[in-house]
Structure 1
Amino acid sequence: MDYRTRIVSSLAEIGQPGWDGLVAAQDEANPFLSYAFLHALHESGSACADTGWEPHYLSIWQGERLAAAMPLYRKFHSYGEYVFDWAWAEAYQRHGVDYYPKLLSAIPFTPVRGGRLLAIDEKARAALLAALLALQQEPGVSSTHILYPPPPQAKALAGAGFLLRSGVQFHWHNEGYASFAEFVDTLDRKKRKNILAERRKVSEQGVRFVQLRGAEIEEAHWRFFNRCYRHTYSDHYSTPYLNLDFFLRIGRSMPQNLLLTIALRDGHAIASSLTVHDRDTLYGRYWGALEHVPCLHFETAYYQPLEFCIAEKISWFEGGAQGEHKMARGFMPQKTWSAHWLAHPGFYDAVEHFLQREEGGIDGYLSELNERNPFRDPPR
């Protein structure tokens, strides 16, 4: 096929119809791959060259038609990735070799599985992968890292010389529950008792909740949520990745995918959580509180969204990165993948050996977690 390769520094160069049309053709699409979400990250200054996320999207064209593309960045640090390679960067530094910039395919600040090699068909996908292999051979590229690809794409990347790394997340599955009470009743006695006690503690403090969907979320709500989000980062002596402009942008451009849960006490808003969803999956994303109430985090960021999933018949709730505590709330471990290529032969071999040892530990960890199944009977 007569394909043309092009590096794109702004999604505006492709346009929303072209990008979203390509995403819609994927089996592993989600709201985070949408033009609205990615463009908001870039245009708000949350993920841009100034913050160490330089858009470097690789695209394949068939005439004027976008045939394939991948979200790709030149990264100048390893913040906001959730697949940690700090030790690799430090090893490079100790040996006087530059690790940054590196190439990274991921959704910034978002540890969610989804398509990375986006294509209209397998021929175009093969052309995209070939273009990536050529791009990463250029001078000044230390390595390429592709985070949270779906298993078929991870397998294709391994066949192209990438090293695979596994990880663990915790996801909740809706078994067709008619109510939250029905779900809780499937857990073992101790887990069920603890959840009911946590919910009771919040209720006894006079806290009630409002769930706002899409266009119901007004600018004042976004400003309040941003305060909560920033306050929680400050409490952990950290700097937030996102800003108010980003939240306002997604509020305007993708309201159909947003659920904002606000906690109120004595008529005053004190906490909130933002989740993103499509018809099949709800994704836990951001939360924050201005006041401390025992167990408020669990109610706002887990139990209220779980009730939403049950009411809307949403099949999955992905809780984000890490967090064994989620198992006590019905979330079960799921293996995730990332793919890595390093230009330096010596470091490639060293990382390959490290990942082989790490994989055994991950498999053992998964077995241990599954033995601690929180359900009275194993889920179907």
Structure 2
Amino acid sequence: MDYRTRIISSLAECGQAAWDALVLAQPERNPFLSWAFLHALHESGSACKATGWTPQYLTLWDGEQLAAALPLYVKDHSYGEYVFDWAWADAYQRNGLEYYPKLLSAIPFTPVSGSRLLARDAAARAALVQALCELQQTNALSSTHILYPPAEQAEMLEAAGFLIRRGVQFHWKNEGYEDFEQFLSTLQQKKRKNIRAERRKVAEAGIVMRQVRGVDATEADWIFFKRCYDRTYLEHRSTPYLNLDFFLRIAQSMPANLLLVVAEREGKPIASSLLVHDTEKLYGRYWGAIEHHPCLHFETAYYQPLEFCIANRISYFEGGAQGEHKMARGFLPEATWSAHWLAHPAFADAIERFLARENSGMENYIGELNERNPFAR
């Protein structure tokens, strides 16, 4: 089919109905692909040209119908990606070459796997890959990077000449637990004992936890959460990616997908975490505290969300990027993928050899992690 190709700089150019209809057609969809989430990132100024995330979405049209789309950005840096290519950029610079700008397909600041090659059917998806290859061959950018696609789309991209990189995250699976204690009973004794001790420390500090669904959250709840979010970045001596306008926008446009966990002491909030969910998965996103108490992070960002999953029959909890410490709390390793194309033949060859070694090491690493399974045998 002869599709019409358009590069769009704003999702307003295709409209919410067309975009969300395309997302709903994907088996690997999640709330982060929604028009509400992405448009809020752009319109709030969190992910835009001024912050080094210039939207250049690649879209295919069948007449007036959106047939396929690829969330795509021209990036001036590598912040907010979670698949680290700083060493590649440094190698380019040391050889007198420009690595930036580059093309990036990702959900800004969101290391969550999901469809990147959005298409209504297999033919449209194949045409989208072809259009991407033509685009990167004709532009003057150093490279194209597609982060956290599902395995099937990674295979498509590999067949189209992309180099595949393997990573790992830690996910929790709900085995139909009736309550948190039943989940604990499946863990090794030492793990159970440690989790109970951590939760007891929080309770003994007089801290009370409150789960606030997005539909019930007040503006004051969001302002306090933003204060906690900023505090986390301040403690790591970095600048927050997201502004209050973004959080207030998603609070209005997708409240049914949001959960705030608020910790209170003596009637005052002292910590908060934000999670995003659909009926199948819960995604841990951000947390912060204005008072420090032992194990408060684990309670706010892990144990309360696990209780929410169990109570609402949510099958999976993805706690975010990295973190072997999650295994002690019932999370298991899951492979993730990214795809990379580099215009410079010598660098493409060097990175291909690097990835062969890294991917082999990652496979061994995941195998070693699985041998440390926290569940009782």
Match of 1:157 in 2: 157
- Give 1:127 shift: 1.0
Distance 2:114 2:367 in 1: 25
Distance 1:173 1:73 in 2: 33
- What amino acid sits opposite 2:322 in the alignment? Q
Task: Give identity over the alignment, percent.
Answer: 71
- Runs (5+) with no aligned partner, structure 1: none
Corresponding residue SS for 2:334: strand
Distance 1:126 1:204 in 2: 57
Distance 1:179 1:30 in 2: 26
Match of 2:45 in 1: 45
Q: Is 2:340 the counterpart of 1:346?
A: no
Distance 1:367 1:61 in 2: 43
Corresponding residue SS for 1:81: coil
Aligned residues: 377
- What amino acid sits opposite 2:88 in the alignment? W
Q: Is 2:249 the counterpart of 1:249?
A: yes
Distance 1:368 1:99 in 2: 35
TM-score normalised by the chain length of structure 2: 0.99
Distance 1:339 1:231 in 2: 33
- Give 1:238 shift: 1.1
Distance 2:168 2:67 in 1: 32
Distance 1:71 1:241 in 2: 19
- What amino acid sits opposite 2:263 in the alignment? A
Distance 1:183 1:35 in 2: 35
CA deviations 1:306-358 (Å, max 9, x no partner) are 00000000000001100000000000000000000000000000000000000
Distance 1:323 1:253 in 2: 31
Match of 1:26 in 2: 26
CA deviations 1:197-254 (Å, max 9, x no partner) are 0000000000001111122011111000000000111011111100100000000000
Corresponding residue SS for 2:61: strand
Distance 1:202 1:75 in 2: 42
- Runs (5+) with no aligned partner, structure 2: none
Match of 2:112 in 1: 112
Counterparts of 1:161-180 in structure 2 under 5 Å? 161-180=161-180
More displaced stretch, 363-372 vs 299-308: 363-372
Match of 1:89 in 2: 89
Corresponding residue SS for 1:262: strand
Q: CA RMSD in A?
A: 0.5
Distance 2:335 2:139 in 1: 34
Distance 1:274 1:364 in 2: 33
- What amino acid sits opposite 1:176 in the alignment? G
More displaced stretch, 134-143 vs 315-324: 134-143
- What amino acid sits opposite 1:187 in the alignment? L
Distance 2:371 2:62 in 1: 50
Q: Is 2:222 the counterpart of 1:196?
A: no
Corresponding residue SS for 2:311: helix
- Give 1:184 shift: 0.6
Corresponding residue SS for 2:137: coil
- What amino acid sits opposite 1:165 in the alignment? R
Distance 2:330 2:224 in 1: 30
Distance 2:344 2:2 in 1: 32
TM-score normalised by the chain length of structure 1: 0.99
- What amino acid sits opposite 2:238 in the alignment? S
Distance 2:189 2:317 in 1: 23
